[in-house]
A and B are shown apart, each in its own frame.
Chain A
Amino acid sequence: MNNEIHQAFIKQKRKQKIYVFLVQISLLLSLFIAWEVAAYKRWINPLIFSFPSKIWELFVTKLADNSLLPHISITLSETVLGFLLGTLLGTIIATILWWSPFLNRVFEPYLIVLNSMPKIALGPLFIVSLGPGFISIMAMALMITVIITTIVVYTNFKEVNENYIKVIQTFGGRKIDIYTKVILPSSVPTIVSTLKVNVGLAWVGVIVGEFLVAKQGLGYLIIYGFQVFNFTLVMLSILIIACIATLMYQGVYRFEQWLIKDRM
């Protein structure tokens, strides 16, 4: 009896899931069709918005002559490196600030200034000082991710319940024990969720960096397409970015789920 009810419930849930998915897919398809028709009928300017069919054609030719993959891979590696390094560095800085209340007090106003400042404004400085290339783009991505990671992770470190620390202290634990046994493990969920935020932020840093450096990468393709007024190329790059960014976010999300599954 109970089993039947449960089965029916599962079935119902699965049905709903399929239904949602179908609607999502058809929405996407109709968007593309509407775009194609609207551009064809000149309801929207095809010079700016291009056609889905032309974008697809360009995608296939560029794949075939291998003038797309190098750009994708450079942008991808910059972004992945950006958000991983950003999260790592931010966590390390947060650790230093937690470890030394003195340093924390000293650096607090600097952090506030850096956090409220639009980091992208520093772009030209990076390019002049670090050279127009990979390092400048990384610096851009890091600048955007590190500060916010530091602040979020440090705040989380401070919010760890005092009594957990007391447990460690009653066993004679020192600061290193408090850090490795309580502070860090209890902040893992926060660090992983900043990883998620940093995926998005690293994209901003990398694309803007590529705009400015304008040598290679998807950001370069966008700015190049814009300059030669080839908006099919711009649209293609944007669509590729959307796809990869989503995949990356999903990847981090899966990782997060896997990491916290034991604690649920």
Chain B
Amino acid sequence: MEHIKIHLENITHVYVTKTHAHTAIENVNLEITTGEFISIVGPSGCGKSTILSCIAGLLNPTFGKILIDDIPITKPSSKVGYMLQSDYLFEWRTIYKNTCIGLEIMKQLNEQTMLRAKQLLGELGLGDYKDTYPVQLSGGMRQRAALVRTLVTEPDVLLLDEPFSALDYQNKLKLEDLVSMTLKKHQKTAVLVTHDIAEAIAMSDRIIIMDSNPGRIKEIIIIPQAIRDKLPFDAREAEGFYDIFHKIWKELDVNE
């Protein structure tokens, strides 16, 4: 019996502004098991990011609840790490100091965690750059540093909000492999929001296709084991990859 890590129970969220109320997501139900990699795809405005914000505890859904390890989430928890679209490293801190920001806030900065930060930097090929400032690094390296910043607090769940979209194609493929390997190695559960269908197929175990206005789950696609076992780069060459691609493409096309 697989353990259910994240449980979304009938989540509905309504954004209220001065002029009107807008339903971003409606009746979203989802169970994510430990170690699973889920991608959410869908047209813009389908509430993908809203779901992430809710799981992160940054946003309390209007209705419904979210459980992580059977505990309701109402505020950000140390179990959840969040990676944003861009790295948002602090320019005034060195790379190493940037990766320690989460530890500082959680008051977990000690010799052991500092060592872990340095090890992770080394693992992701940034060992020689720990004392440089973000401006001195390329986009790919910065995003890797942001990954270290997220991983170093040892979250069980990783939320990835289009973290590769700001990178050039080559760096994007490299980083996909790296993230995929790192997450598998550390046994993390991950939820990725993306516009890139190929990326979603290459990285995930399951893909959630969303409908917009209001955002609802339209379909869930399970990726075959043969593609899952490969690294994202190789998965793109795997058999059956393009069948899934076309299937999702059509689903999204109908939406437009």
Contact = CB atoms under 8 A, between A and B. Distances in A.
B90 A164 contact: yes
Interface string A224-264: 00000000000000000000000000000000000000111
B133 to A, nearest CB: 6
A108 interface: no
A192 B76 CA distance: 34
A181 B92 CA distance: 10
Contacts of A173: 105
A66 interface: no
Contact of A167 (B88, B106, B133, B135): B88
Interface string B63-79: 00000000000011110
A188 B102 CA distance: 22
A186 B104 CA distance: 17
A163 B146 CA distance: 13
Interface string A158-174: 00010110111111110
Q: How large is the interface on A (under 10, 10 to 19, 20 to 34, 35 or more residues)?
A: 20 to 34
Counting chain A CB atoms within 10 Å of each CB, which of B80, B81, B92 scores highest? Answer: B92
A57 interface: no
B135 A161 contact: no
B153 interface: yes
Q: What is the predominant secondary structure among interface residues of chain A facing chain B? A: helix
B173 interface: no
Interface in A118-172: 161, 163-164, 166-172
A116 B86 CA distance: 40
Contact of A170 (B76, B90, B92): B76
A170 B58 contact: yes
B234 interface: no
Interface in A157-212: 161, 163-164, 166-173, 177, 181-182, 185-186, 188
Interface in A67-121: none
Given A166-B58, A263-B135, A171 B102 contact: yes
A171 B105 CA distance: 7
Interface in B85-125: 85-86, 88, 90-92, 101-102, 104-106
A109 to B, nearest CB: 21
Contacts, number: 58
B37 interface: no
Contacts of B92: 185-186, 188, 262-263
Given A171-B153, A262-B133, A163 B105 contact: no
B164 interface: no
Contacts of B106: 171-172
A188 B93 CA distance: 13
A161 B84 CA distance: 13
B56 interface: yes
Contact of B105 (A177, A186, A188): A177
Contacts of A163: 84-86, 88
A177 B77 CA distance: 16
A168 B103 CA distance: 11
Interface of A: 161, 163-164, 166-173, 177, 181-182, 185-186, 188, 262-264
User: 7 nearest interchain CB pairs?
Assistant: A170-B82, A171-B102, A172-B76, A173-B105, A171-B105, A163-B88, A185-B92
18 contacts: A163-B84, A163-B85, A166-B84, A167-B84, A169-B76, A170-B56, A170-B58, A171-B101, A171-B102, A171-B106, A172-B75, A172-B106, A185-B90, A186-B90, A186-B92, A262-B133, A263-B91, A263-B92
Interface of B: 56, 58, 75-78, 80-82, 84-86, 88, 90-92, 101-102, 104-106, 133, 135, 153
